[in-house]
Amino acid sequence: MKNDLTQPRPSLLGVLVIGAVLCVALAGLGSFLTSVYAASSTVHEIRGTVESVNAGEDPPVIVVKGRQGSNEAIVVGAVVKQGVTILRGKKRIGLDQIHSGDKVTLKYLKTREGLTVRSIVLHRN
C-alpha cells in the first residue's frame, strides 16, 4: 500500500499565486477594454456658459457649464487643438476672443487622452 503523503499535491501557495496572476490579467484586460470603449467617434454637444478658458496654456483648455437632458447640470473641460473651428456667427475667431461668461455651443469628442474640442460657436449675449 502506497503512502498518500508521498504523492505530489498542489501547494496552497501555488494555487493562490496562479489565482492572483489571473485576477491581475483579467483586471488589466477590463481596463484596456474600457479605455477602448470610452474612445469613440461620437460627437457630443453642450450648450452653456464658459466657466474658464486658458488660451495661453499648452494645451489650451475650455470649460463649459450647461444642462444635459431636462435638469441635469454638466461641466465639460476639453482640450482645444490647433485648427479647431471657432465661430462667432459665420466669422472665424480665435480662442483668445472667448471669455468667461460667454454663451457657447461646444462640440467635442471623447478620446483616450480625454475630451477634445471639435468646434465652438460663440452666441450673442
pLDDT at 68: 72
Are 54 and 31 part of one and the same domain? Answer: no
Instruction: Taking residues 7-18, report their average pLDDT.
Output: 58
Are 33 and 68 part of one and the same domain? Answer: no
Are 67 and 117 part of one and the same domain? Answer: yes
Are 79 and 55 part of one and the same domain? Answer: yes
Neighbour-count burial of 83, counting CB atoms closer than 10 A to its CB (0-12 exposed, 13-18 middle, 19+ buried): exposed
Give the pTM. 0.66
Give the pairing type, strands 91-92 and 61-68.
Answer: unpaired
**Omega within 30 of 0 (cis) for the link into 59:** yes
pLDDT at 39: 53
Cell 469628442, residue located: 109
As for how many domains the chain has, the answer is 2
**What whole-number distance in Å separates Cα of residue 61 and Cα of residue 53?**
6
Q: Residue 19 is part of which domain span?
A: 4-38
Are 32 and 60 part of one and the same domain? Answer: no
Strand partners, 70: none
- 90-117 pLDDT, tens digit per residue, is 999 999 999 999 999 999 999 888 999 9
Are 58 and 116 part of one and the same domain? Answer: yes
For residue 34, the surrounding DSSP H or E stretch is helix 12-38
**What whole-number distance in Å separates Cα of residue 111 and Cα of residue 7?**
55
Question: CATH number, domain at 117?
Answer: 2.40.50.140
- 18-67 pLDDT, tens digit per residue, is 665 555 555 555 544 444 445 557 889 999 999 999 988 889 999 999 98
Are 27 and 53 part of one and the same domain? Answer: no
pLDDT at 34: 47
